[in-house]
Structure formats: C-alpha cells, structure tokens
Structure 1
Amino acid sequence: MTNILVLGGGYTGITAAIRVARKTRAARVTLVNASPRVTERLRLHQTAAGERLADHALTDVVAGTGVEVVAGRVAGIDPDAHEVRLDGGRVLGYDKLIYALGTVTDASVPGVAEHAHVYDDYAAAVRLSRRLDELTGGTVVVAGGGLTGVETAAELAEARPHLRVVLLTRGRPGSMMGGSARAYMEAALERLGVEVRPGVEISKVLPDGVELGDGELVHSDATIWTTGTKGLPLATESGLRVDARGRIVVDPELRSVSHPDVYAVGDAAAITQKFGVMHGTCQGGIPSGLAAADSLAATLRGRTPKPFRFGYIHQPLSLGRKDAVIQFTRPDDSPRRWYLAGRAAIVYKETVSGSPIWTWKLLKRGLVPVWVFALTAGF
C-alpha cells in the first residue's frame, strides 16, 4: 500500500487529500494539520472585524473519503529518508508527499514580528479581534494596498465605526484592477471613512505606531500587516529547492524539481505558467491541489501525468458586508474592461468565498466544479 502524506489542511491541502484518496483507492492517505479545524483564510478579515463564522472540523469535511486526519504541527521534513517529524517527536513515513502548508507573512520589516497583527492563522485573527474589542476609540493602521489590505480596511471601518482606519500603501490601493473598478473601490473606501495614504513606505513598526521612510511617525493602537507573504522556512531547511520567496520550485506536473516524490501546491509552490509564476490565491490553490492529486495518481498507475495549466478569471473584492466589486481579468491577471459592483458583486463574492466548502462536497462524490475547468482549460 502506498503511503501518501498531505501536509496542510487549508483549502488546497483538503482538496488534494480528498481527490487523491478517491483516485488511488489502494493508497493510504493521511492529512496532517496543526489545527483540527478548517481555517477559511478568505474570511479572516471578517473574523478580525468580530463576525462569528461557521466552524468546520477537518474530520467532518473528509468523512467518508478514507482520509485519516492527524493533528500536529510539522517540525521537519527529511525528503531523502521520506519522513516527516511533528512537534512532540512523532515521525510519519511516506512514499509520496503533497506539501500544502501555504505561506506566512513576510516580516522582514523591523518590528512586524513583534508589534503587528497578521493573518497567518485563525488564532492570529482572533487575537486581532480581541485587541480591537479593547479599543473604545483610536487609530487602526492597515499596511498594504492589495486585496487583503483593502478588504480589511473596509471591513473594520464598517463593523467598528468608532475607530479611525488608516490604509498605508506603497502604491495605489487596488493597483492591479482596471480604472473603473478601482474608482468604485476608492469611492467605497471614502464612503466608509477609510483614510487612504498612497505612496508611502513603512520602515519600522513600533508598539504604538509606524515609522515611515521619511521619518514621519503615524500613531496606531493596532497595526495590521498585509504587505506580502513568503514560504515557511521549513521547505528551505528540508533541502527542497525554493525560489527567492521560499516557495518550492516545481515542474509542470507539480513535482519538486529537486525531490520528485514531493508535490507542492497552492501558495507554497512556485508554479510557472506561460504568463509567469503564479501568485498565491484560493483561485489557483484549489485547481493546483486537484492537479497534483491527478498527477500523483497517474504516476502510480504508470501513466504520464498532464502538465498543469491555469489562468486567472477575476479579482473579487469585498468592501464590507454591504458592498463589493469584482474585476474580471485575462488569464495573466491583467484587468479586462468588465467588472461587477454593488448587490450583484456581493452575491458573486460570497459565492467565491463559500466555494471551497461545496467544492469538497462535490469532490467526495467524484465531481469537479465547473469553475475549475474554466480556470484550467484553454490557457
């Protein structure tokens, strides 16, 4: 019996585990995750704003698939010995490994690790929510003008109107979007009272504020850091070949170029397509999890796996609970002319945010959602 170990119980890891268990009936599939619960990373800004979300146990999600769930934090990987060591000393052997541990916040700016709130896991979002609960007034600084930063600023401004929310960004917020969609987003932030300061660089995070590159001090009662991510040090320490951001470099079949018995997916992988290296989103994570499972299953059957193909279709952006904007894109993630806004965009965004849960239900029945075919066909 082939032992298949899947590391990481996020969107991508769960998808890969369910799919590979169904495609390799004679294999033993074990899913390892630090928490026994599913973390919906797409909704962590809602948790920070104080919203109570549905709770999903990993064992419930994979029930009926034959996947065994092991709760434990990965402490080390020995790809030559085909072993994974967990905190506490437990060692798990494997024949094939799917690495889906995602990324963590890039804390290279001084003070981020000590003084900023991040979205690395559910517990971090809860700590942020509790900190905001303590504030009867004051200023919250959100660093980063990408989708996560904008969603966070809008969510907090709507849910906690007694707080002053300041969005600091090196470029223009939502710079990846087209002009019309970005203008809609900017109007929504203004309506919500978010103070946007583009064109600034943070040189240091302090206990009670941030220091900008020109020396200006911006007071903050809570600083939220959303400026970028990097791979876990675990991959580098394990001897797997990684890129400059610590992501595992893979071949077109999503196998590690240095250790082919290791597959890497989602944010944790440096996956090259004809438009360049993919950036980490749920949009690409679930399809890559499916593709790695299919690639592994084909290899075990002695068949040649298909190269992974992918193209982006949208940039969904919530603007609190009462507004949203959806920028449709070309496969390389550059903006098209079309976008959705308002009520239609809210429905669209909630469908996207909820898609992992019903995707897993379909996978357990041997079905693949139509949206996955849209992302992986014809690019």
Structure 2
Amino acid sequence: MTEHTGSAGTPPRIVVVGAGYAGLAAAKLAAKWTDARVTLVNAHDRFVERVRLHQLAAGQRLRDLPLADLLRGTGVDLVVDRVTAIDPSTREVRLTRGALTYDRLIYALGSHADLDSTPGAREHARTIATREDAERLRADLAHARTVAVVGGGLTGMEAAAELAECHPGLGVTLITSGVLGDALSDRARRHVRDAFDRLGVEVRERTRVTSVHAGGVTPADGASITADTVVWTAGFRVPDLAREAGFAVDDRGRMVVDDTLRSVSHPEVVGIGDAAAVRRPGGAELRMACATGMPAAQQAVRALADRLRGRQPEPFRFRYRQQCISLGRGDGVIQFVDHDDRPSGAVLTGRLAALYKESVVRFTVLFQHYPTLPAG
C-alpha cells in the first residue's frame, strides 16, 4: 500500500533545507525518484565548494556555481532565504520572508565553525567555514605578517599548508591540542611533518588554546602566542533549529536518525549531512564530511521514495575508503582506511596524492550535476 502524504489527488510536498553537498543532491534525487513537488531552501544562491575554501582564503579563485544552473531542468523550486524555525506540529518551515509547508522534510543544514566554546574566538578569529569567512580571511592576510591556525584536524592542516605555500613571506604556526596527524598512520604523519618543514610551518603540539585576543592566542600554559591573524578550525557546531523544533537530537544538537536516516522522533523528517548523527549498526559515529553526506543523500532519498510507494526501505550501508589531505597544490597525503575509518598501512603521498585529492574534489561537483553517480 502506498503511504499517503499529500492531500487527496495532489502530490506530496518535499522541502529540503540546506543546499550543501548532501542537500542539493537530495533535492535533485527527490524530484527524480518521486512524484513530489520539491522545494530547496538555501540562504545563498550559490553552491559552495566548502572543501576548497582554504584555497579561496589563500588567494585562489573558485568556480562560480549558481544553484539555479545546477537545478535547471530538474523540476526543483529554489527559494533563497534563511530558515528561522521549523514547526513540526503544522509541518511548516519558517523563513525570514514567509513560510513553506511540507509533507516530508529533508533536514540538511550542515555545520558552522564553533566560535563560542573559547573566549575571544568570535571577536578575534577568522574561519574558513563559509565563502564569506574565507573572503574576510583573504582580505586580512593582505596586511598580515604572521598567522596562527588553531586546530590540527584535516581542515587545519590543509589551511596551514595552503597559506604557507601561497604566501611564502607569511609566518604560519599550526597549533593543535594533540599530535600532528594523530589519526594518520606513521608514514602519513611523517610526510605531513616533512611537508610542513619544507613550507616553513611551525607546529605547536599538545597546546590547548584557552582564549583568543587581538594579538594572538593564549594557551593553557599561559605563554601567549602572537599572531596578526588567527584562523579557527578547532571544531564545528550545527544549527540549533532541530533542537528548537523538538526533534530528537544528540548532545551536540544533531538530529538523531534511524538506520534509514529518518528522524527517530518525527518519521516525516529525514536527516542527512553534518547536522545528522549517523551511526553504524555497532554504534560507531560517521564523521562530518562530504564523503559521508553524498552517499547518505542517495540512500536517504531512496528510502523516502520506497516508503512513499509502500515499500520497506533498505538500511543505510556505508564504508570509508580514504582520508584525503592537500598540502598545497602539488603535494598531499591519501591515507587509505579500513571499514571503520581507521588508518591502514597503505598511503599515497606527493604529487600523485595531490592529483588524487584534486580528482576527488572535482567529483564532488560532478556529483551535484549527476547525483545518481556511485558516491559510496
């Protein structure tokens, strides 16, 4: 029996909030795989290659990708506006300029830099979480002599390397609370360290930043690290909209979903991308990444389409294959991983790794054009 969702004789209404790597693909797939009326809501009219924002901050140009062009011929209606609230009791998405009702909601609002957990970060640090953030950082770098990148994850490593390569006279320091590349294999860590030595990036390990000020940062040991510009990559947060709407969320505010990526508290809602807490059957959490979001979009919409047709959907299945790190334009590390994202002994480095990473990044845009391509 087909699941009833819309008014009698009318197609269901699917609203997708967020047009990042997961949301844009989900909207296009929903229009392709269902007979629903699909509306995509996004705060900006451009698709942002978030995995390239460190390049933009360093002074490079990115492709212009209007959402209207990416949606042309798909039947998806685009609304450029900011979501201010979601009311599940009336199935309404409220915007700054009106509201939309839905029968099914795909929640894909992504994440943003966490600037509120450390005093002074919001007032004195730059991030590369949005295009606007990256452009502001690029403007600051025109007058900076020193920069401190806080956060030793993949984003921090890529940002430090890119800034050092594009601005040879800039003093770049990477500050991490752990060990540089601690999630990588020994061989991969050595290559990252060698690359930073070549680029002149100073690394401060086991250094926890407790505050940010106009002249740099203060670590827990109290010895201030000076910098003209501070780049904050130490953690991400998700919007509070899911929590405020009353959806079941985890302790980080991410929507809790079942094994078909449907909200455990509101079955008419699907959660994908960074703002959803997706776990494997054994409980392991999937990391925030487009490598997770794109295949999740495919399987979530397939499950939604199955339910609309009265079929039992298959559970979400996914495995990681690699972690890709650019170290400037001509160097990188590809750390191959096992099913649970743990590093294996297989590593690709140097120019071949840079080409590999570039092909992966280009695929993320190709996927937005053709979201039925295999993504996981």
- TM-score relative to the length of structure 1: 0.94
Gaps spanning 5+ residues in structure 1: where? Answer: none
The worse-fitting range, judged by mean Cα deviation, of 40-49 and 119-128 is: 119-128
**Which whole-Å CA distance do the structure 1 matches of 2:42 and 2:77 have between them?**
11
Paired residue for 1:199, among 198, 206, 225?
206
Query: Does the CA contact (< 8 Å) of 1:275 and 1:332 recur in 2?
Result: no
The aligned residue for residue 228 of structure 2 is: 221
Q: Amino acid of the residue matched to residue 14 of structure 1? A: L
The aligned residue for residue 174 of structure 1 is: 181
**Which whole-Å CA distance do the structure 2 matches of 1:332 and 1:199 have between them?**
26
- Note the C-alpha offset of 1:132: 0.7
Query: What SS is found at the alignment partner of 1:11?
Result: coil
- Note the C-alpha offset of 1:120: 2.7
Structure 1 position 263 matched with structure 2 position 270: yes
**Which whole-Å CA distance do the structure 1 matches of 2:312 and 2:369 have between them?**
28
Paired residue for 2:21, among 11, 17, 22?
11
**Which whole-Å CA distance do the structure 1 matches of 2:257 and 2:16 have between them?**
16
Structure 1 position 105 matched with structure 2 position 98: no
Q: How does 1:141-160 map to 2 (within 5 A)?
A: 141-160=148-167
- Note the C-alpha offset of 1:328: 0.2
The aligned residue for residue 308 of structure 2 is: 300
Structure 1 position 72 matched with structure 2 position 81: yes
The aligned residue for residue 65 of structure 2 is: 56
**Which whole-Å CA distance do the structure 1 matches of 2:17 and 2:309 have between them?**
23
Query: Deviations for 1:311-336, whole angstroms, at most 9, x for unmatched residues?
Result: 11101000001111100000111001
**Which whole-Å CA distance do the structure 1 matches of 2:253 and 2:127 have between them?**
18
- Note the C-alpha offset of 1:185: 0.9
The aligned residue for residue 373 of structure 2 is: 368
**Which whole-Å CA distance do the structure 1 matches of 2:137 and 2:14 have between them?**
36
**Which whole-Å CA distance do the structure 2 matches of 1:258 and 1:125 have between them?**
36
Paired residue for 2:364, among 332, 336, 356?
356
**Which whole-Å CA distance do the structure 1 matches of 2:140 and 2:367 have between them?**
34
Query: What SS is found at the alignment partner of 1:336?
Result: strand
Query: What SS is found at the alignment partner of 1:44?
Result: helix
Q: How does 1:256-295 map to 2 (within 5 A)?
A: 256-273=263-280, 274=282, 276-295=284-303
**Which whole-Å CA distance do the structure 2 matches of 1:239 and 1:139 have between them?**
45
Q: How does 1:309-320 map to 2 (within 5 A)?
A: 309-320=317-328
Query: What SS is found at the alignment partner of 1:150?
Result: helix
The aligned residue for residue 230 of structure 1 is: 237
Query: What SS is found at the alignment partner of 1:263?
Result: strand
Query: Deviations for 1:55-113, whole angstroms, at most 9, x for unmatched residues?
Result: 0000111111111111001111111210011123x111000000111011222111111
Query: Does the CA contact (< 8 Å) of 2:57 and 2:128 recur in 1?
Result: no
- Note the C-alpha offset of 1:275: 5.6
In the TM superposition, structure 1's runs of 4+ consecutive aligned residues that sit over 2 Å from their partners are 360-363
**Which whole-Å CA distance do the structure 2 matches of 1:34 and 1:27 have between them?**
23
The aligned residue for residue 33 of structure 2 is: 23
Query: Deviations for 1:146-171, whole angstroms, at most 9, x for unmatched residues?
Result: 10000000000000111100000001
**Which whole-Å CA distance do the structure 2 matches of 1:69 and 1:120 have between them?**
23
Sequence identity percentage: 47
**Which whole-Å CA distance do the structure 2 matches of 1:352 and 1:303 have between them?**
34
Count of paired positions: 364
**Which whole-Å CA distance do the structure 2 matches of 1:233 and 1:286 have between them?**
22
Query: What SS is found at the alignment partner of 2:126?
Result: coil
Structure 1 position 245 matched with structure 2 position 238: no
Q: Amino acid of the residue matched to residue 85 of structure 2? A: G
- TM-score relative to the length of structure 2: 0.95
**Which whole-Å CA distance do the structure 2 matches of 1:309 and 1:206 have between them?**
45
Q: Amino acid of the residue matched to residue 4 of structure 1? A: I
- Note the C-alpha offset of 1:361: 2.7
RMSD: 1.0
- Note the C-alpha offset of 1:360: 2.6
**Which whole-Å CA distance do the structure 2 matches of 1:133 and 1:226 have between them?**
20
**Which whole-Å CA distance do the structure 2 matches of 1:248 and 1:323 have between them?**
37
Paired residue for 2:142, among 126, 133, 138?
133
Structure 1 position 341 matched with structure 2 position 323: no
Q: Amino acid of the residue matched to residue 120 of structure 1? A: A
Gaps spanning 5+ residues in structure 2: where? Answer: 1-10
Q: Amino acid of the residue matched to residue 18 of structure 2? A: G
- Note the C-alpha offset of 1:119: 2.4
The aligned residue for residue 5 of structure 2 is: none
Pair 311,32 (structure 1): closer, same or farther in 2 beyond 3 Å: same
Query: Deviations for 1:115-170, whole angstroms, at most 9, x for unmatched residues?
Result: 111123111111111111233xx210000111000000000000011110000000
Query: What SS is found at the alignment partner of 1:129?
Result: helix
The worse-fitting range, judged by mean Cα deviation, of 66-75 and 111-120 is: 111-120
Q: Amino acid of the residue matched to residue 248 of structure 2? A: R
Query: What SS is found at the alignment partner of 2:344?
Result: strand
The aligned residue for residue 90 of structure 2 is: 81
The aligned residue for residue 44 of structure 2 is: 35
Q: Amino acid of the residue matched to residue 302 of structure 2? A: D
**Which whole-Å CA distance do the structure 1 matches of 2:118 and 2:317 have between them?**
35
**Which whole-Å CA distance do the structure 2 matches of 1:160 and 1:87 have between them?**
40
